[in-house]
C-alpha cells in the first residue's frame, strides 16, 4: 500500500506542474479560531450589503460539513501579478481583473488536478473550490502553512507576497499536513495608513462595508454613498492600495499565465477614454474578464462617481 507521504509528494509535484506557485495541506476540520472572528464581523455588519456572507455559517467554518467525510484540505496559490500595469494618471482596476476571469482558468486546472488524484490514488470524494463557495480561503491557506493573514486581511507569502488567487481541493484522503508559519507583519502599519476609506482597522480586521472594492464591485445600488466621495483615488473596479504599499510585495514576480495578460488598450486607456467608454468597447476590452461582474452599467456608475471627484460638504 502506498503511503500518505508518497501521495502527499505526488500531489505537491502535480500542483507545480499545473502552474500553482505554492501548495499546502491541512486537516479538514472545524476552524475554531475563526468562528468567533467571523461571528463578530457579521454582528458588526462589516459585510455591508453582502448578505451571502451570512449564509452557510456552519459550512463556512467546517469543511467536514461542506464535504462529508473529508480528511484533507489542499490549499493552492496561483500568481496573477502582471508584468505591465496601467499607465499613470488614469482610472484603475484591480490587477486580478486585467486578463480573463480567474474562476474559469483555475477551475479547469483543478479539474485536471482531481483527474490526476483519481488516477494515482483511486476513486476518492474530492470537491474543488475557487472563491465560489462558503470556504474561508485565506484561513485554510494560513492553516496549510502558505503564509499569514496580514493586517489588510490578505494572505501574505514570505517569498512572493500577496498577489495570488487562492483555491482548494477538499477530499476524503488523509495526507501529511503542513504547519502554520509565523506572522511577520510586526509593527508595520503601511496598509492601515494608506487606506483612503479607513477600512483597515488596527486589530487585524477589515471593515468590508468601507472597502473600495466593496463599493465598486459588491454594492449593486445605483448610487454610491456620498460620504465616500473623493476617497477612491481613481479606482473604478476593486482596489490594490493595501497590497501595493505592503513591503512584502517587493518580492512579487510577474505571472506566467498568458490568459491573465490584459488587452493592450486597457493598459493605455486615458481618463477621457474611460469616461467616454461605450458598451461596445467595454465588451471588447473586458470580454471574459471579471470586470463583467459589475456589468457596463455598474462600471460607468463607478467611473462617473470617481470622475466627479469632489469631496462632500462638511
Cβ burial of 311 (10 Å; 0-12, 13-18, 19+) is: exposed
The helix/strand/coil state of 79 is strand
Please give the Cα distance from 72 to 78 (Å, whole number).
20
Is 131 a known active-site residue? yes
Catalytic residue (one of 131, 172, 183, 234): 131
Please give the Cα distance from 5 to 21 (Å, whole number).
20
Beta partners for residue 22, in sequence order? 77
Task: Supply 12's cell numbers.
Answer: 505537491
Please give the Cα distance from 76 to 164 (Å, whole number).
9
CA atoms within 13 A on the CB side of 185: 24
CA dihedral 3, 26, 52, 150 (to 10 degrees): -150
C-alpha distances (whole Å) from 99 to each of 53, 130, 287 are: 27, 17, 9
Please give the Cα distance from 75 to 167 (Å, whole number).
6
Please give the Cα distance from 140 to 261 (Å, whole number).
28
Residues annotated as catalytic are 131
Amino acid at each position: 500500500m502506498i503511503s500518505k507521504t508518497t501521495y502527499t509528494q505526488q500531489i505537491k509535484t502535480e500542483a507545480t506542474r499545473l502552474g500553482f506557485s505554492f501548495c499546502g495541506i491541512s486537516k479538514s476540520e472545524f476552524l475554531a479560531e475563526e468562528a468567533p472572528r467571523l461571528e463578530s464581523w457579521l454582528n458588526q455588519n462589516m459585510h455591508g450589503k453582502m448578505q451571502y456572507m451570512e449564509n452557510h455559517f456552519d459550512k463556512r467554518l467546517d469543511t467536514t460539513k461542506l464535504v462529508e467525510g473529508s480528511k484533507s484540505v489542499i490549499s493552492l496559490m496561483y500568481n496573477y501579478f502582471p508584468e505591465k500595469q496601467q499607465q499613470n494618471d488614469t482610472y484603475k482596476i484591480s490587477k486580478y481583473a486585467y486578463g480573463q476571469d480567474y474562476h474559469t482558468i483555475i477551475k479547469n486546472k483543478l479539474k485536471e488536478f482531481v483527474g490526476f488524484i483519481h488516477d494515482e490514488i483511486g476513486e476518492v470524494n474530492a470537491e474543488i473550490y475557487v472563491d465560489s463557495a462558503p470556504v474561508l480561503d485565506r484561513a485554510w491557506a494560513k492553516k496549510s502553512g502558505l503564509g499569514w493573514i496580514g493586517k489588510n486581511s490578505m494572505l501574505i507569502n514570505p517569498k512572493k507576497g500577496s498577489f495570488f488567487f487562492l483555491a482548494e481541493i477538499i477530499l476524503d484522503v488523509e495526507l501529511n499536513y503542513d504547519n502554520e508559519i509565523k506572522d511577520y507583519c510586526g509593527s508595520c502599519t503601511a496598509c492601515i495608513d494608506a487606506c483612503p476609506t479607513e477600512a483597515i482597522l488596527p486589530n487585524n480586521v477589515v471593515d468590508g462595508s468601507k472597502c473600495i472594492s466593496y463599493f465598486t464591485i459588491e454594492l449593486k445600488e445605483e448610487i454610491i454613498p456620498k460620504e465616500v466621495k473623493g476617497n477612491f483615488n481613481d479606482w473604478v473596479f476593486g482596489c490594490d492600495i493595501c497590497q501595493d504599499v505592503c513591503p512584502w510585495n517587493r518580492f512579487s514576480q510577474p505571472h506566467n499565465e498568458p490568459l491573465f495578460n490584459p488587452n493592450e488598450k486597457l493598459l493605455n486607456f486615458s481618463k477621457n477614454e474611460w469616461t467616454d467608454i461605450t458598451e461596445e468597447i467595454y465588451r471588447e476590452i473586458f470580454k471574459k474578464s471579471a470586470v463583467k461582474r459589475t456589468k457596463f452599467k455598474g462600471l460607468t456608475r463607478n467611473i462617473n462617481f470617481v470622475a466627479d471627484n469632489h469631496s462632500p460638504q462638511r
